[in-house]
Structures are given as structure tokens and as C-alpha cells.
Amino acid sequence: MANPGTTLHDFVVVSNRLPVDHSIADDGSTTWTRSPGGLVAALEPVMRDTAGVWVGWVGRPDVEIAPFEIDGMQLVPIALSELDHEHYYEGFCNDTLWPLYHDVIAPPAYHRVWWERYVAVNQRFADAAAAEAAEGATVWVHDYQLQLVPRMLRESRPDLTIGFFDHIPFPPYGIFAQLPWRTQIVEGLLGADVIGFQRVADAGNFSRAVRRLTAHPTKTPAIEVSWPGQPTRTVIARPFPISVDAAGFETLARRADVQARAKQIREDLGNPRTVMLGVDRLDYTKGIGHRLKAFGELLAEKRVDVESITLVQVASPSRERVEAYVHLRDEIELTVGRINGDFSTISHTAISYHHHGYPREEMVALYLAADILLVTALRDGMNLVAKEYVASRFDEDGVLVLSEFTGASDELKRALLVNPHDIDGVKDAIVAAIRMPARERSARMRAMRKRVIENDVNRWSSNFLHTLEQARAGRYDRIAPQHLPEELEWTIDRRWSN
């Protein structure tokens, strides 16, 4: 129910995290600053135009704060207790769903108490969103942490238009079927009018799960949902590949101070002929170990020489209390230490390793400094780092080595595509990137930039919201393919349109 007496909103965004970072001043007081993510950049204009509100967690347990405003955006914090944090966030979200949805690279753990907490926390998010939403409002729910929210909202507020976007892969049925609560998750998502996925494959996997687990008829991309006591609804499930704020990255890259910083980075590294870069959350899905193995072997075989090449690896801290992440950090840091011990010289370090997150300016300086960006994820919904690199390289230089298991590889076909499990293949791609003639580098980068600039995050959000509007109005013939690369194009079967 909407809260009588409070200002209600026509547009509500719901995500696990609010788009804010906190910092603690010397006197112990906390200040919040807007985090620089692409999602917030894309949604800000819509939020402003519709006086929208964002519902989410501030990222720390046991913090109860009242709704507040930042840069004209209304934020409604959801409090999570220490136990919510442990069972919902670290447990069910990041030790059950995350590994399950990423090809079981790490074994998922199934615990009933975690599931119960996931249900309870999803209900809390749904109730908070319902309390903010005006009659007939649009609510856009994000990501795997909140898959039950669409159905919960549909039941309490049938007047709402509900969208859901899954930022991570949706697994093939053979893997998804392991989940003891698989039917509840699928029915939870089906509360939405439109369910967006990163790739064609993810949307296909979801439709197959619907067919295996429910009696709802599907005809790609539509699913006819009949729940007891409710009118039959048509739900659209289709890909909307997310992107970055391309213009924002280019603007930063063109700034003289950012370019000076890029030059400084190369100098500080000893001006090697080739700078390679890896930028990831420290996560087992990112294939950091595979990349290090390939680089270590190239050094050992003397196909590359530490005097002329350096790998800068930024591994930002993530989910640090979840066991798989604790082991991963030990493993990666041991490998970095070994490679540096074996190959670095006093003047040249093989791997410059950084367990930090950096502000966007510094990231763009690193992108400009890097001759090669290595993205070797074993599975990744999209991989926005690849698109950020391309968006930043207005000089049309730099080579992207990109895993074919990322969503980005559907679109960035002119990257050097690799199977990260094939270490020899990764090594050959690195050598090819080092040797690539300038003309070929710029031809490839130009083609990739065209794609990223044309399909930036604003286009992504407006495509999604347009589809949502048309779907809710039952105008299925108006939601034909929009700006997807050819291989992603969908044709909507006219029989669904009236």
C-alpha cells in the first residue's frame, strides 16, 4: 500500500545497493556522495523528469537512516541487520545465486535459512517500493538480489507497471535446476511486465526454465502468465544489453590532467614498450588467475620480456567475508608474488598489483595508459570494463583482448576474442595484440567505438522503459527490435499483436 501523507512517485528504482558511497570524516560523521556508476548516470534524467525515487541498501549492515536527497535524487535506504547481511547478501545472493548463475565456477551452497532470509528481505524491498509508488507508477527492479520483488509488488499493487533487469547471466536449465527454490524464483520474476537480460542466451535460458517449471505458454519473447484469481498477463522476456556512459568517459579521457596522469603512469612503470591492464572486482568469475598464468608462461618462455612489458592488475576488494573470495585473494596474491619473484628486476616489475578501487578519473588515465586491456572472465553478464576502455579511447588506439564468455563479446566482435580456459590461445592473443600494426588497432577500435557510442547506457535505459510502456499498454507490435546488433535482433511474432 502507498503511504498516505507521504509524497508518492511515478517512477521508482529498486536495487540492492543505493548509488551512494559513504565516507567517514575525522570527527566520525558520515557523508554520502553519489557513486559514479553508469546506471545512475542513465537513470538520473528519468528520475529528475519524473521526480522519481531510488530504494536500496546503503551497503553497510545495521545502518538506519532516513530518506535523503543527493544531487536532486531522492533515496530511500533499506536497513539490513548483521544477520540479513550474512544470510541474504553474503549467503543466498553471493554464495548461492552468484556461483549458480555463473556456471557453478565455485560450488553454490544451499541453505534453507538463507532462502528464508532472501524471501524476507525481498518482501522488505517490495513493501518499501510499494509505499513510495503513486497509483499507476512504474517500478524498475534490478538484479539477482531482488528476483522475488516483481511478484510481491504485483500482488500488493496490481496497478503498477513493473520492469526487471537481470545484470548477471541467467543459467542454462541444467544448472538452474539445482536450485531448490527454482520455481519460486521464476514465478517471482514473472510478476514483471518486462524482464530484461543481457544476452539472447540468457533470455532463452529463462524461457526454457519457464517451460520446464510452469504451465505458462511461451512464444518468444512473450510468456502468458495465469495466476489463480488474476487475469492472464503477457510478460515480455528479452535481451537489452547494458552499456556505459560513453560520452562521460570520452570527456574525461580528453581532459588534459587525465592525459597527463596517463603519461605519468607509464613513466612510473619505467616506460615499458607495452602496458597491459586488467581491471576487475576480485571475483572468481573474472578469470584473473587464467590471465596471470598466461602472462607468467609468456615470461618463462621468453616470448615477452619484463623490460618491455608490464601488467597492471587492479583487483578491487569485494565480498571479503565470503569464503570463496577469501581463498581467491590468497591464490591470486600468491601467484602475483611468484611471478614477480621469478621475473621482476630492480627497475621493472612484471605485475603491478593493486587491491583497491579507484575513482573514475584514475581509471580513465589507466585506460589511456594501457596498450592492451585483458578481459578474461570465465562468465560475465556484460563486462562494462571492456566498454569503458573502448569509450575512453578517443585516440582510436589500444587493443581489447576479450573473453567470449562475456556479454560484451556479442557486440565487440573486433576485439581479439579468447576462450580464457585455453591458456595457449590467451598467450597467442597477447602476442598478437603486442605486435598488431597501428592501422589494424585503429580500424578495430573505431568499429568498437561506433557500437559503444551508438548504444550507450542512455539508449539502453530508454529502450527498456519504452518497451515497458508499450508492453503495459498491450502494444506488442510496437516493441520490435531496437538497436540490437544484428546477431541479437528479435522479431516479435505479429500474432501477439492486436
Residue 319 binds to ligand F6P (criterion: CB under 6 A)? yes
Measured from the CB atom, the residue of 242 and 465 that comes closer to ligand F6P is 242
Q: First and final CA of the chain: distance in angstroms?
A: 33
Give min distance, CB of 435 to ligand F6P, in A. Answer: 35
Measured from the CB atom, the residue of 138 and 285 that comes closer to ligand F6P is 285
Among 80, 162, 168, 366, binds ligand F6P (CB under 6 A): 168
**Alpha carbon distance 376, 332 (integer Å):** 14
Classify 44 as helix, strand or coil: helix
Give min distance, CB of 407 to ligand F6P, in A. Answer: 11
In the region spanning residues 115 to 144, those forming contacts with ligand F6P, defined by CB under 6 A, are 143
Give min distance, CB of 285 to ligand F6P, in A. Answer: 10
State yes or no: cis peptide before 228, omega within 30 of 0.
no
Give min distance, CB of 478 to ligand F6P, in A. Answer: 29
What is the per-residue DSSP string for 363-397?
Answer: HHHHHHH-SEEEE--SSBS--HHHHHHHHH-TT--
Give min distance, CB of 197 to ligand F6P, in A. Answer: 12
Distance of CA 54 to the CA centre of its chain: 18
Residue 318 binds to ligand F6P (criterion: CB under 6 A)? yes
Cell (9 digits) for 132: 513510495
Give min distance, CB of 270 to ligand F6P, in A. Answer: 33
Residue 17 binds to ligand F6P (criterion: CB under 6 A)? yes
Cβ neighbours for 97, distance < 8 A, ≥ 6 positions apart: 108, 144, 145
Cα–Cα distances (Å) from 237 to 75, 161, 190, 417, in that order, read 28, 15, 9, 28
Measured from the CB atom, the residue of 90 and 371 that comes closer to ligand F6P is 90
Measured from the CB atom, the residue of 102 and 427 that comes closer to ligand F6P is 102
Cell (9 digits) for 1: 500500500
Amino acid letter for position 110 = Y
Residue 85 binds to ligand F6P (criterion: CB under 6 A)? no
Question: Binding-site residue total for ligand F6P (CB under 6 A)?
Answer: 7
Measured from the CB atom, the residue of 383 and 392 that comes closer to ligand F6P is 383
**Chain residue whose CB lies nearest ligand F6P:** 167
Residue 167 binds to ligand F6P (criterion: CB under 6 A)? yes
Residue 35 binds to ligand F6P (criterion: CB under 6 A)? no
Measured from the CB atom, the residue of 265 and 402 that comes closer to ligand F6P is 402
Give min distance, CB of 196 to ligand F6P, in A. Answer: 13
Measured from the CB atom, the residue of 143 and 371 that comes closer to ligand F6P is 143
Measured from the CB atom, the residue of 50 and 318 that comes closer to ligand F6P is 318
Give min distance, CB of 143 to ligand F6P, in A. Answer: 4
**Helix (H) or strand (E) run with residue 134 in it:** strand 133-142
56-60 contacts, C-beta under 8 A, 24 or more apart:
56/13, 56/14, 56/15, 56/16, 56/17, 56/18, 56/19, 56/125, 57/16, 57/17, 57/18, 57/89, 58/17, 58/18, 58/20, 58/22, 58/32, 59/17, 59/18, 59/20, 59/21, 59/22, 60/22
Classify 470 as helix, strand or coil: helix
Give min distance, CB of 486 to ligand F6P, in A. Answer: 26
In the region spanning residues 172 to 211, those forming contacts with ligand F6P, defined by CB under 6 A, are none
Measured from the CB atom, the residue of 318 and 462 that comes closer to ligand F6P is 318
Residue 90 binds to ligand F6P (criterion: CB under 6 A)? no
Say if CB 21 and CB 33 are below 8 A apart.
yes
Which residues would be at the binding site for ligand F6P (CB under 6 A)? 16-17, 143, 167-168, 318-319
